[in-house]
A and B are shown apart, each in its own frame.
Chain A
């Protein structure tokens, strides 16, 4: 994913490729795998993209791709339509709001913002499931999914280091 500074930043590089990778990761992590009686974790990969895309730069394409990723997630996981799209767009909104506050900050501050965005997205999914099925989702399972998604921060950092400030017009 490394690029030279002279190369222009194309949308397919910082939006298209990560989106496809997230789709592939979602499919792979849905494999029926149970090692020694334990199920593999199930992170929500597009939340990391929602945060990273908003921080890299505000764009028209980002929210639309997030909408599509959310609908894919709903269809593939079998939830109500629109649930994950709402969650991803809320995470995007949080990151967009805090974008100016994150400029020039240490990595720890960005981690805190990322965890906050994940919390908002998972919390939205929690509330929407509650509305849809009239059942309080299992809090321990919710916590596991939150942690599995929060540990995706290295992927976020990779996208930020690769594409943030890549174009001097957006500095």
Chain B
């Protein structure tokens, strides 16, 4: 019996290992969402069950908070009065600065970011171990939540949405080992990447510059890559005992029961896609058009003369290209379909691939041979490749700047 049980355990282990490898490959594949139907379905079922089971715990939590509030009211009142007194002079300063800032924006005609709408959601479950840090919230795609949306408490950033069903979403917290967040240090504007490791204080990696971080520096989202809006408060920098930098998160100061999801699309979705996809070339002058036509004709004539079409019998031609008749006029070439390029949320290297919003447009067959990158004209000019909706380059995480160095 022991050997049989061991054999079953080995088979089960093989199945688990295959699942792990498949899931890992799916995650590192460029453009893969890593969040399948099974996970979405599971979240849809687990969230209400977890919510019911967690109700008594929530009561205990609320009771403990009430007791704490009751006994701590006097000391808290005293502390808040002192804080209000400290902040009063900052209020006047803030009003003056805001006024000045608005004037500068108007004078310089700066394009400021639009306000971001938000949705308040209740946290149904909170996974906080060393290997996973995630939360299920009770707002999903029906409420307008999309994959990639950031989530905050009233204090600071909590994480971002990595899975959405109709009424439930899954948040990946900043502390999760798979979380990577581009941030900046408020004092020096130095960039870094906030990397979760399952602990309460995520690490700062790839800190740019020398001595750009000090203990107590405020850390904000940088907005690089369009993953988060710029300037959301994240936490305070703190040096650890090994000399590295960590961040004490502001969101730890607030209760875990509610979050605010910012319905924020990455910057690529905030601009007019139709204008981006429109041909970028300036219109040709009449002279250039005439030159182009002459050159095209010159190219077409010798080709027709040197490569005559082989003779074909009527039997072979007929099924391939029926001659146009009056009863059946020639069908016009199909008009280019307006395809919406998939919304891609850029994820930093190593992060769980975030979001490739499924495109509703039907897939087009891939052309066998694409047009050349630059077509030399007879006059020696070269025409740049025109990006139409059909050949709009897709986001490739290997080349975050949008350039292929090998091309």
B-facing mask of A91-110, CB < 8 A → 1, else 0? 01100100100000000000
Q: Are A83 and B20 CB-contacts (below 8 A) given A32-B126, A67-B12? A: yes
Tell me if A60 and B8 are in contact (CB < 8 A).
Answer: yes
Indicate whether B360 reaches chain A with its CB closer than 8 angstroms: no
Tell me if B125 and A27 are in contact (CB < 8 A).
Answer: yes
Q: Are A30 and B19 CB-contacts (below 8 A) given A35-B61, A75-B39, A137-B198? A: no
Tell me if A27 and B50 are in contact (CB < 8 A).
Answer: yes
Tell me if A27 and B49 are in contact (CB < 8 A).
Answer: yes
Q: Which of A67, A78, A131, A138 contacts B170 (CB 8 A)?
A: A78
Indicate whether B132 reaches chain A with its CB closer than 8 angstroms: yes
Residues on B with beta carbons closer than 8 Å to the beta carbon of A129: 130-131, 177, 198
A142 CA / B131 CA spacing, docked (Å): 8
Residues on A with beta carbons closer than 8 Å to the beta carbon of B20: 80-83, 86, 128, 132
Tell me if B49 and A77 are in contact (CB < 8 A).
Answer: no
Tell me if B130 and A142 are in contact (CB < 8 A).
Answer: yes
Indicate whether A46 reaches chain B with its CB closer than 8 angstroms: no
Q: Which of A44, A71, A77, A82 contacts B17 (CB 8 A)?
A: A82
Q: Which of A35, A96, A135, A144 contacts B6 (CB 8 A)?
A: A96
Q: Are A133 and B58 CB-contacts (below 8 A) given A60-B4, A80-B23? A: no
Indicate whether A116 reaches chain B with its CB closer than 8 angstroms: no
What is the interface size of chain B, counting residues whose CB is below 8 A from a CB of the partner? 66
Tell me if A81 and B22 are in contact (CB < 8 A).
Answer: yes
Residues on A with beta carbons closer than 8 Å to the beta carbon of B204: none
Q: Which of A96, A125, A141, A170 has the most CB of B within 10 A?
A: A141
A132 CA / B22 CA spacing, docked (Å): 11
Indicate whether B100 reaches chain A with its CB closer than 8 angstroms: no
Tell me if A93 and B9 are in contact (CB < 8 A).
Answer: yes
For the complex formed, measure the closest distance between the CB of A19 and the CB atoms of chain B, giving whole angstroms.
14
Tell me if B177 and A81 are in contact (CB < 8 A).
Answer: no
Indicate whether B298 reaches chain A with its CB closer than 8 angstroms: no
For the complex formed, measure the closest distance between the CB of B18 and the CB atoms of chain A, giving whole angstroms.
7
Indicate whether A145 reaches chain B with its CB closer than 8 angstroms: yes
For the complex formed, measure the closest distance between the CB of A63 and the CB atoms of chain B, giving whole angstroms.
4
Among residues 50 to 85 in chain A, which have CB atoms less than 8 Å away from a CB atom of chain B? Answer: 54, 57-60, 62-64, 66-67, 70-71, 75-83, 85
Q: Which of B8, B42, B196 has the most CB of A within 10 A?
A: B8
Residues of A in contact with B (beta carbons under 8 Å apart) = 24, 27-28, 30-36, 39, 42, 44, 54, 57-60, 62-64, 66-67, 70-71, 75-83, 85-86, 89-90, 92-93, 96, 99, 125-126, 128-129, 131-138, 140-142, 144-145, 170
